[in-house]
A and B are shown apart, each in its own frame.
Chain A
Amino acid sequence: MKARGLVLTVLIAASVVCFGKADGSWLKKVPQSDRVRVNPYADNAEAVKVGANLFTNNCAKCHGENAEGKGSRPSLQSERVKDATDGELAWLLKNGNIYKGMPGWSGLPEQQRWQIVAYVRSLNSQGKAGHP
């Protein structure tokens, strides 16, 4: 009986760890030095265009063609993304949030990650940029 309870607890814990919903808790993990980083491609129209292409190739399969979200995978046209700095978004893209299902994209060159940030920022154009 005790063993069954233990197995059940482990299964529930595992499902929470494996399939937990994005809740923005990653924002607390971003170091201050990353938070204030400035996107070298900020307000660069060409970078937004390239970022859109990179987004379609790498991100749209989970977040939707227009970043509207898909199933349990969050929309990137949201208040949370709008309020995040470019540095915070770049940190998330590089490190991921692996226990919530978001893989890290450190294998993608940094320039391309910034181009994706520029595109996501353009979707939430009222957002704030990081300040050094």
Chain B
Amino acid sequence: MLSQLCRLVRFVSMRRAILLFLPAVLVPGFHKAEAQQEQPYFVTYSSQLEEPGNLEIENQNVAASPANANAFFAPTMEFEYGATAWWTAEIYLQGQATANDSAIFTGFRLESRFRVLPSDHWINPVLYVEYEDVNEADKSFLEIVGNDTISGLEVPNAILREEIERSMEGKLILSSNVKGWNISENFIAEKAVTGAEPWEFGYSLGVSRPLTLTASSKSCVFCRQSFAFGGEMFGGLGTSQGFGVGQTQQYLAPLVAMSVPHNLTFKFSPEFGLNDNSAGVLWKFGATYEIEQFRDWFRRKQ
């Protein structure tokens, strides 16, 4: 694993690492202390929607050096807007760069999440609807559905990018907050809009908690209230023609998030493959920046 890691570190150049800090570079003029602790999940959604009027910019990256395939780095930019207190809309732009191959744009996703119940319950359902237009060269690992395996990573980008998949995806997000812990379960169903492919299914489960439940009166960076930790497990569940977890990728991941002043949150997770269809380890890291009351920029001053 150490040699794979070294290979990966060499591949991820300084120029690409700068992408992680892009949100911070883009928006230097805002000075606010950290807000509500971001949940540390990379794949799992909780019932927490974006606050109305806020725009969240997230740069999420995955890097890996799978056996029998070239090392790769895949950044995703997410723009998440709180349209109302019960509706969050989001756009994803994705790309990837593969060692000894090429760097390409792989596609986009449009997504909306709707809170179903008006008040908080012991379990809170949220409906997720997504349209995706991504080519087969996508290596973002935002989720796993169907019988997706790591063997697809061996194929060169030039061939994969020719195959574009347009599909609709639905998720049922269930989430609970118990004594400071967040427990979330996502069930995914995806159907290609074109072609006669069967329904594909997937799941993800996540648990997280802030390091401390009480806040301090001082704004600080390396204090306990700035950190959240947790874990998530995700993978495919096969298709409508063959349901099951055996023929697809499965991952288990510890998670950590750190919120700092300026509305910035950094997240990190090594995701460990649980079977031969999965990569040994996916290194995920990301940064989130929240622009508060973005919609006020377009309102007349009162």
Contact = CB atoms under 8 A, between A and B. Distances in A.
A binds B: yes
11 contacts: A49-B217, A50-B217, A53-B216, A54-B215, A56-B33, A71-B296, A101-B84, A103-B51, A103-B82, A107-B39, A107-B177
What DSSP secondary structure best describes chain A's contact surface?
Answer: helix
A61 interface: yes
A57 interface: yes
Contact of B214 (A56, A104, A106, A109): A109
A57 B34 contact: yes
A59 to B, nearest CB: 9
Interface in B76-109: 82, 84-86
B27 to A, nearest CB: 15
Nearest to A99: B118
Interface in B36-73: 36-37, 39, 46-49, 51-54
A66 interface: no
Contacts of A108: 36-37
Contacts of B46: 107
B214 A112 contact: yes
Nearest to B261: A57
B198 interface: no
Given A57-B35, A71-B299, A103 B213 contact: no
A101 B179 CA distance: 26
B85 A103 contact: yes
Contacts of A52: 217
Interface string A25-37: 0000100000000
B242 interface: no
Nearest to B290: A61
B216 A50 contact: yes
Contacts of B86: 98-99
Contacts, number: 91
Contacts of A46: 217
A78 interface: no
Q: What interface size band does chain B fall in?
A: 35 or more
Contacts of B293: 61-62
Interface centre among B48, B124, B182, B217, by most chain A C-beta atoms within 10 angstroms, is B217
Contacts of A8: none
A102 B85 contact: yes
A95 interface: yes
Contacts of A110: 179-180, 213
A111 to B, nearest CB: 5
Contacts of B296: 71
Contacts of A98: 84-86, 115, 118
Contacts of A112: 213-215
A107 B47 CA distance: 9
A53 B120 contact: no
A100 B52 CA distance: 11
7 closest residue pairs by CB, A with B: A98-B85, A109-B213, A95-B119, A61-B292, A103-B85, A49-B217, A106-B120
B235 interface: no
Contacts of A99: 85-86, 118
Contacts of B216: 50, 53
Contacts of A115: 214-215
Contact of A96 (B37, B85, B182, B215): B85
